[in-house]
Amino acid sequence: MQKSVDPELACPVAPVVDIVFSRWTTPILWALHEFGRQRFVELERRLAGITPKVLTQRLRQLERDGLVSRTYHAEVPPRVEYEITDLGASLGPLFAHLSNWADAHLGEVEQARHSYDVGR
């Protein structure tokens, strides 16, 4: 009988994948990296298809993980801004590498999918 192994021990990058590649995390980080500090409504407009509830949840998780900072301005009306932290920006090389991989290999992935689908 095979013993079960903790996924984090079997694959040490699993926690990173869970943090960085959950739905909407990458687009949020990209938008903050590309366009700098933004208000909630600005982010919502840039990320077509995201609901306010999901954006709020993701921003809170990213703030908790230290990848995004939230600044509250006690004005009338109150203003809240979000920006990527140094920790969040440190993911830039990872995203650049993935972008290069996508440019080089997504065509092959599409071909493999097509071949698989035709064979079924």
Q: Which long-range contacts (CB under 8 A, 24 or more apart) does 37-43 make?
A: 37/71, 37/81, 37/82, 37/83, 38/81, 38/82, 38/83, 39/79, 39/80, 39/81, 39/82, 40/80, 40/82, 43/82
CA atoms within 13 A on the CB side of 118: 6
- What local confidence, expressed as pLDDT, does residue 1 receive? 62
Instruction: Indicate the domain borders of the chain.
Output: 7-89
30/90 Cα distance (integer angstroms): 12
Say yes or no: domain 7-89 is CATH 1.10.10.10. Answer: yes
Residues of the chain with pLDDT > 70: what percent? 96
- What local confidence, expressed as pLDDT, does residue 13 receive? 83
Q: Which of 2-16, 43-57, 60-74 has the lowest mean pLDDT?
A: 2-16
Is-contact 83 69, C-beta < 8 A?
A: yes
- Tell which wins on pLDDT, 35 or 8: 35
Q: Name the band, by pLDDT with cuts 50, 70 and 90, for residue 8.
A: low
